[in-house]
Chains A and B, each alone.
Chain A
Amino acid sequence: MADRPIRILLVDDDRSLLDVLGSLLQLEGHEVVAVPSAHEGLLKMQEAQFDLVLADNKMPRTTGIDMLKVVNEEHPGTKVVIMTAYASVDNTVEAWRLGVFDYLPKPFKLADLRQVIEKVRKAR
């Protein structure tokens, strides 16, 4: 059970980052579904179960924090990690208040990403 790859839903409106980060996570041996919006991400969650939602916060229409609220309600077993290119104090505080699993300010190091995923693996 511990060796099962982590199923990750990657959500980011930056196509380039989505592509690269998706490939990186796959190279790490995880199962990755990469979508460019929170709306599509939530649709994917209807179809499959994920261990981790790695979502950008600042996206058009639905933000990462909005998505966190929905996932908390509908998929309580899924961990949510918010990535943000602009970490404001207010956003961070709200994310922690809503029970975010972790917070990754962009640009982050591979080591930080691996550490977070390891935490998810342990918490699974």
Chain B
Amino acid sequence: MTAQLAEGTRGRQRARRLSIKSKVLLPVAVVLMAGFAVYACFSLDAVERYVYGRTDRSAATFASVAERSLRLAMVQGDPAPVFRLLREISKLPDVQRIRVVNYEGKAWMSAGRPFRSNTPEVALLRREAARTGNTVGRMGPDWVYRAVRPIQGGPRCVSCHEDRPYLGYLEVDLRASETHRQLALSRQRLLLTGGATLLLVGLALLVTLHVLVSSPLSHLRAAMKRVENGDLSARASISSGDELEDLGRSFNHMVEEIEAKNQLLIRSAKLASIGLLAAGVAHEINNPVATISMSAERLLEMETCPAKRKFLQAVVEESDRVAGIVGELLSLEPRGSATMGPCNLDAAVRKALAGLARDAERNGVRVQLDLRLQGCQVRGQEDHLAQAFANMIDNAIRAMPNGGDLKITGRCEGGAAVVEIADTGTGIAPEHLDKVFDPFFTTREVGDGYGLGLSVTHKIVEEHGGNISVTSGPGGTTFTVRLPVGEDGVNGGQADPHPAG
């Protein structure tokens, strides 16, 4: 039930999930479209106002001139020349028709396209004339701009037309279709260019987001997925030169750290399990080995036949070898830090070197000792640390069978005591470098060591809360041991892996 609910919640989360592209594109598209719509409305309105305003002024000017000319002509008693002029004007391409109507609604003059009725309603004309501005309307297939202007009466008109305020009306219909068409075309062009611009901006944004954000993120996600599935060799390759590249680098660094820690944990666990196993079987092996060894030794003492002595000698030596292996394996057993105390690292190194001085001399190895460890006393067991250093020094001497330089340096550095053991020997092959701390790994001949020395060293250094690393090349090998030193000059050591109880 709980699982179903959780699945349902995940499903809803997936349904609500929007990609970064959508999250960026949607608001940008909405804002751009709204902005464009507002711009288009204002812009079109301004154009229309300008165009119609101009037409309006032209129509008003023309109607005013025509009305005054007509009134003047009527005062002079002959409106015929003005009517002729108006007829001529009505033939102009922008003029559809002109009509002069008297106060009774009778047409005095009509030119251009015929009107629907020859007797228009005066009340209607009056209303049209009184309306502010002129009107654009559709007349059949055409758009028409219509102006109606009253012909004002005056004192000089009384003799013929009595005392009337308006003698009649002048109707002018101008062709507005072309203007209308141009406006429609402008509107269309604006919408098309606006739409295309929006589309291009959207596409550019989409491509930019994909290249700069989505693609690096999907690389990172793929690498994360591989790590999630246990593949710690996965790395994110982002070279965008921005924050995402930093993120990728941080991720890679994190995985490298995890991988290193993981390897360390695996190695420590492996060594510990071998040590525990050794501790478990040591009793069972050492008892029979003791019986065999002592029996053979005693027989060897009594035996004088060289052939039998040879066999007995082999039994004694091989028993010693078995005892040696078990003894070294026991060194891998995890030990607590209970018996650790402040110890002299300088003395531990010197002790380790003193035990191997004869070997170094035999191989013609020159030893340089440069220990400056007075400022950082570590916590631990001097004998164990001496054993750890001895194993590394022994390794170095063996790597220089025809002589060389063994340089041992010690210094305090960043809250740690650092001891480096560098030889100018044969070096370790790159493919062997990560195996040198593995138990039973050795490149020496059978019988020349058990391949446990560096495993024991690793384990001892770890038990002291430190770490050990190795670098090697054609010029030789360097082991670096770092042991922590506390603020009071004493390190904390490692937590006791075997707490009481």
Chain A interface (Cβ within 8 Å of chain B)?
A: 14, 16-17, 20-21, 24, 27, 58, 85-86, 88-89, 93, 106-110, 113
C-alpha gap A58/B282 in the complex (Å): 12
Contacts of B298 in A (CB 8 A): 24, 27, 110
The answer on a CB contact under 8 Å between B286 and A85 is yes
Q: Is A17 within 8 A of B287, CB to CB?
A: yes
Q: Flag B282-298 by CB within 8 Å of A: 1 or 0 each.
A: 11111111110111011
Known: A107-B323, A110-B297. A86 touches B290 (CB 8 A): no
**CA of A85 to CA of B282 in the docked complex: distance in angstroms?**
6
18 A-B Cβ contacts within 8 A?
A: A14-B287, A14-B288, A16-B287, A17-B288, A20-B294, A20-B295, A24-B295, A58-B283, A85-B284, A85-B285, A85-B286, A85-B287, A86-B279, A86-B283, A86-B330, A88-B279, A107-B293, A110-B298
Q: Which residues of B contact A24 (CB under 8 A)?
A: 294-295, 298
Q: Is B387 located at the chain interface by the 8 A CB criterion?
A: no
Using CB atoms, name the residue of chain B closest to A13.
Answer: B287
User: A85-B283, A108-B290 are known contacts; what are 11 more A-B pairs with Cβ within 8 Å?
Assistant: A16-B287, A24-B295, A85-B284, A86-B282, A86-B283, A89-B339, A93-B339, A107-B293, A107-B319, A109-B297, A110-B297
Distance between B265 CB and nearest chain A CB, rounded to angstroms:
25
B335 at the interface (CB under 8 A from A): yes
**Chain A residues near B282 (CB, 8 Å)?**
85-86
Residues 274 to 330 of chain B near chain A (Cβ within 8 Å) = 279, 282-291, 293-295, 297-298, 301, 319, 323, 330
Q: Which residues of chain B are near A107, meaning CB under 8 Å?
A: 286, 289-290, 293-294, 319, 323
Residue-wise, chain B 409-442 has the 8 Å CB interface mask toward A (1 for contact) of 0000000000000000000000000000000000
Q: How far is the CB of A82 from chain B (nearest CB, A)?
A: 14
Q: Are B279 and A21 in contact (CB under 8 A)?
A: no
CA distance A105 to B472 in the complex (A): 38
Minimal Cβ-Cβ distance residue in A for B322:
A107
When chains A and B are docked, how far (Å) is the Cα of A21 from the Cα of B294?
8
User: For residue A18, which residue of chain B has the nearest CB?
Assistant: B291
Task: Report yes or no: B335 in contact with A89, Cβ–Cβ below 8 A.
Answer: yes
| A88, B336: Cα distance in complex, Å | 11
Separation of A107 and B330 alpha carbons in the complex (Å): 14
Q: Which of A20, A24, A58, A110 has the most CB of B within 10 A?
A: A110
What bracket does the count of chain B residues touching chain A fall in?
20 to 34
Residues of B within 8 A of A85 (CB): 282-287, 290
Q: Is the CB of A16 within 8 A of B297?
A: no
Q: How far is the CA of A17 from the CA of B294 in the complex (A)?
A: 9
Q: Which residues of A contact B291 (CB under 8 A)?
A: 14, 16-17, 20-21
Q: For residue A118, give the distance in angstroms from its CB to the closest CB of chain B.
A: 16
Which of B286, B295, B301, B335 contacts A106, CB < 8 Å? B286
Inter-chain contacts of A113 with B (CB < 8 A)? 294
Give every chain A residue within 8 A of B284 (Cβ-Cβ).
85
B276 to chain A, nearest CB (A): 12
Question: A20, A21, A106 — which one has the most chain B CB atoms within 10 A of its CB?
Answer: A106
Smallest CB separation, B275 vs chain A (Å): 12
What is the minimal beta-carbon distance from A106 to any residue of chain B, in angstroms?
Answer: 4
Is B339 a contact of A109 with CB atoms below 8 Å? no
CA distance A70 to B283 in the complex (A): 24
Residues of A within 8 A of B283 (CB): 58, 85-86
Q: How far is the CA of A32 from the CA of B460 in the complex (A)?
A: 42
Inter-subunit contact B339/A106 (CB<8 Å): no
Q: Using CB atoms, name the residue of chain A closest to B288.
A: A16
Known contacts A85-B283, A86-B283, A86-B286: A110-B294 contact under CB 8 Å:
yes
Shortest distance from the beta carbon of A114 to any chain B beta carbon, whole Å: 11
Q: Which residues of A contact B295 (CB under 8 A)?
A: 20, 24
Contacts of B297 in A (CB 8 A): 109-110
Q: Which residues of A contact B285 (CB under 8 A)?
A: 85
Q: Which residue of A lies closest to B339 (CB)?
A: A89
Instruction: Give complex CA distance A16, B285 in Å.
Output: 13
Q: Closest CB-CB distance, A14 to chain B, in whole Å?
A: 4
Most chain A CB within 10 A, of B291, B295, B319, B330, is at B291
- Which residues of chain B are within 8 angstroms of A17 by Cβ–Cβ distance? 287-288, 290-291
B190 CB → nearest A CB, Å? 92
Considering the chains assembled together, what is the distance between the CA atoms of A93 and B283 in angstroms?
A: 19
Give Cα A121 to B486, complex, Å.
Answer: 50
Residues from chain A with a CB closer than 8 A to the CB of B293 are 107, 109
- Closest-CB distance, B377 to chain A (whole angstroms): 22
Assembled-state Cα–Cα distance A108/B285 (Å): 13
Closest to B302 in A: A27
Most chain B Cβ neighbours within 10 Å, of A27, A58, A85, A88: A85
- Name the A residues within 8 Å of B323 (CB-CB): 107
Q: How far is the CB of B328 from chain A (nearest CB, A)?
A: 14
Question: CA–CA, A14 to B284, complex, Å?
Answer: 9
